[in-house]
C-alpha cells in the first residue's frame, strides 16, 4: 500500500512557502530542475538568494514537497517538485476554491492512482454561478466525495511514456505533467459518459493530478462480492449484474468508445444494504476508471473490445451458464449512435474530414489498458513508418488548458485570478525544409538552464 498523504503539516506552510512552491512548479515548464536564482525571480519574494534557499529548505524540502538535486556530470543543480508537493498544490487550490473542506483516508490504490475519501466544500462542483440550475447533482457542504490522485510514475508503470501518448507527441515531458493530462482526460470522459446516461460517478472538478467525483455510497467492487451471495437464489443476482455489465459494455461502444479495462475490478455494485447483510434487492453497477478509453475506430479497438467482453463473460460464467444468444455483440454489429470519441478526440478517432484511414495514425494511440499497451507496442515495432511529417491538426486540446488559479500568487499574493499559462511545448522543435523532392528535418534544443528574460518574467 502506498504512503498516504499526510495533512498534519499542511496548515503550517506559510504564504511565502506557497509562492515558492508555485514558482518551482512554473519553472519546471522548461527545466528539469529549477535553479534557485530562477525560482526566486519567478516568485517575486523580497528575499536574498540565501534567504530564499533557507525558506525552501525549512518548509518545503524538510516536508518532502521539493527535492534538491545535483548532477555534476551535467552541471545540473536545482529544485524538483515531488509528487507530494504536486498533491499539496492541487489540494491547496481545491481548499481555497471551497471545492473541498478536508481530506480523509486512502480507500484505494492502484498502479496508476490513489483514491481518498474527502469532505465536500461549500462550492463543490460549482465552477461558476451559471451552474446553479444543476444543484440537484452537486453535494452539500460536508457530504462525502472521492478524490483520485493520478500516479503515472509508479515503479510498476514506468513505461507509460512509451505505451501511452499522454505527452501529445512531445519530445519530453515530466511525470507530473502526464498526471495532469491523465486527470483531465478522465474528467472529460466522465462528463461525456454521464451526459449520455452511462452509470458513472458524478465528476465535480479537477485540478492538476486530482479529480473530485461523487462517492458511491453503500457499494463494493464487483470482485469483492462473495460467491455465496452471487450463487444465491439460483444465481439471480449474478444474472442481473451480468446483463447490466453487458449493457454498459455495448452502450459505451455505441457512443464511439471502448473502455479498454472493463472487468470486475472497475465495476462497483451499489445500493448495498448493510443492515441486511448485503442482501441486494435492486443492484446497480457503476463504471469507474476511464483514462485508458479509446475510440471504436482505433486500429486495436476490436481486439480491446473482445478482451473486455471476454473478461465480463469469464467472470459471470463462474456462477451461471450464459446462453449463446445473450453473449455480448461483436463490435461491428453495434450501431454507432453518437460521436463522443470525435468530440473528445479519443485515441484513434477518425476526423470527419479524413478521406481515408491513414488519418487514424496521425491521432493519439494513447491511454490504453494493460493488455492494449503490450499489443500496441508489438504492433508498432513491426510496422515501417510511412510518413515522416504527421499532421497535428487533430491533436488533443488539453495542452492549451490554463494553469490553475493559485499561480496568480506570484503577482497578487495569492488572491487574484491567474491568467492562462500554457505548458511549454518548445523544448524541442522540428524545422522541416523542402529541397526539391527531399524533405530534410533539422532538430535543435533549447538550453535547459536558460534564464528567463525580464520581459517574460513580468508577463507571468
Closest CA to 74 of 457, 447, 452: 447
Q: Which residues contact 266 (CB under 8 A, 6 or more apart)?
A: 259, 287, 288, 289
Q: Are 249 and 262 in contact (CB under 8 A)?
A: yes
Question: What gap in Å lies between CA 24 and CA 27, rounded to an integer?
Answer: 5
The CB density around residue 1, as the number of other CB atoms within 10 Å, is 7
How do beta strands 203-207 and 210-214 pair?
Answer: antiparallel
At 257 the three-state DSSP class reads strand
Residue/partner pairs of 307-310 with CB below 8 Å, 24 or more apart: 307/371, 307/372, 308/249, 308/258, 308/259, 308/260, 308/261, 308/262, 308/263, 309/249
At 433 the three-state DSSP class reads strand
261 included as an active-site residue:
yes
Residue/partner pairs of 418-424 with CB below 8 Å, 24 or more apart: 421/26, 421/29, 421/460, 423/29, 423/173, 423/177, 423/399, 424/29, 424/30
Give the bridge partners for 80, in sequence order: 67
Question: What gap in Å lies between CA 188 and CA 191, rounded to an integer?
Answer: 5
Question: What gap in Å lies between CA 42 and CA 21, rounded to an integer?
Answer: 11
Q: Which of 87, 179, 261, 289 is catalytic?
A: 261
Give the bridge partners for 435, in sequence order: 438
* Active site residues per annotation: 261
Amino acid at each position: 500500500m502506498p504512503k498516504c498523504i499526510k495533512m498534519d503539516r499542511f496548515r503550517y506552510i506559510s504564504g511565502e512557502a506557497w509562492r515558492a512552491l508555485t514558482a518551482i512548479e512554473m519553472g519546471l515548464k522548461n527545466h528539469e530542475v529549477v535553479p534557485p536564482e530562477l525560482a526566486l525571480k519567478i516568485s517575486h519574494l523580497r528575499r536574498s538568494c540565501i534567504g530564499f534557499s533557507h525558506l525552501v529548505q525549512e518548509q518545503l524540502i524538510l516536508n518532502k514537497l521539493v527535492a534538491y538535486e545535483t548532477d555534476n556530470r551535467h552541471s545540473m543543480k536545482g529544485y524538483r517538485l515531488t509528487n507530494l508537493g504536486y498533491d499539496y498544490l492541487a489540494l491547496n487550490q481545491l481548499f481555497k476554491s471551497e471545492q473541498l473542506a478536508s481530506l480523509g483516508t486512502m480507500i484505494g490504490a492502484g498502479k496508476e492512482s490513489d483514491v481518498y475519501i474527502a469532505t465536500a466544500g461549500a462550492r463543490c462542483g460549482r465552477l461558476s454561478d451559471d451552474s446553479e440550475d444543476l444543484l440537484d447533482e452537486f453535494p452539500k457542504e460536508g457530504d462525502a466525495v472521492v478524490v483520485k490522485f493520478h500516479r503515472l510514475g509508479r515503479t510498476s508503470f514506468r513505461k507509460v511514456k512509451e505505451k501511452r501518448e499522454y505527452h501529445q507527441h512531445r519530445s519530453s515531458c515530466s511525470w507530473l505533467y502526464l498526471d495532469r493530462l491523465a486527470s483531465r482526460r478522465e474528467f472529460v470522459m466522465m462528463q461525456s459518459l454521464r451526459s449520455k446516461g452511462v452509470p458513472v460517478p458524478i465528476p465535480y472538478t479537477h485540478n492538476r493530478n486530482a479529480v473530485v467525483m461523487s462517492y458511491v455510497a453503500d457499494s463494493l467492487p464487483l470482485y469483492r462480492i462473495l460467491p455465496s451471495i452471487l450463487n444465491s437464489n439460483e444465481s439471480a443476482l449474478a444474472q442481473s449484474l451480468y446483463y447490466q455489465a453487458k449493457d454498459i459494455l455495448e452502450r459505451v461502444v455505441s457512443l464511439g468508445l471502448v473502455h479498454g479495462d472493463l472487468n470486475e475490478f472497475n465495476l462497483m455494485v451499489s445500493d448495498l444494504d448493510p443492515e441486511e447483510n448485503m442482501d441486494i434487492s435492486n443492484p446497480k453497477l457503476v463504471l469507474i476508471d476511464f483514462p485508458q478509453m479509446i475510440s471504436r475506430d482505433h486500429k486495436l479497438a476490436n481486439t480491446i473490445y473482445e478482451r473486455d467482453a471476454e473478461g465480463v463473460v469469464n467472470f459471470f460464467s463462474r456462477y451461471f451458464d450464459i446462453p449463446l444468444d445473450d453473449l455480448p455483440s461483436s463490435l461491428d454489429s453495434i450501431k454507432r449512435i453518437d460521436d463522443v470519441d470525435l468530440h473528445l478526440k479519443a485515441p484513434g478517432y477518425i476526423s470527419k474530414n479524413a478521406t481515408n484511414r491513414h488519418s487514424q495514425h496521425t491521432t493519439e494511440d494513447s491511454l490504453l489498458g494493460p493488455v492494449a499497451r503490450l499489443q500496441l507496442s508489438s504492433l508498432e515495432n513491426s510496422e515501417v513508418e510511412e510518413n515522416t511529417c504527421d499532421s497535428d491538426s487533430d491533436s488533443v486540446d488539453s495542452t492549451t488548458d490554463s494553469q490553475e488559479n493559485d499561480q496568480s500568487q506570484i503577482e497578487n499574493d495569492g488572491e487574484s485570478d491567474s491568467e492562462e499559462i500554457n505548458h511549454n511545448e518548445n523544448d524541442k522543435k522540428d524545422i522541416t525544409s523542402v529541397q526539391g523532392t527531399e524533405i530534410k528535418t533539422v532538430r535543435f534544443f533549447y538550453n535547459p538552464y536558460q534564464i528567463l528574460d525580464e520581459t517574460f518574467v513580468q508577463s507571468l
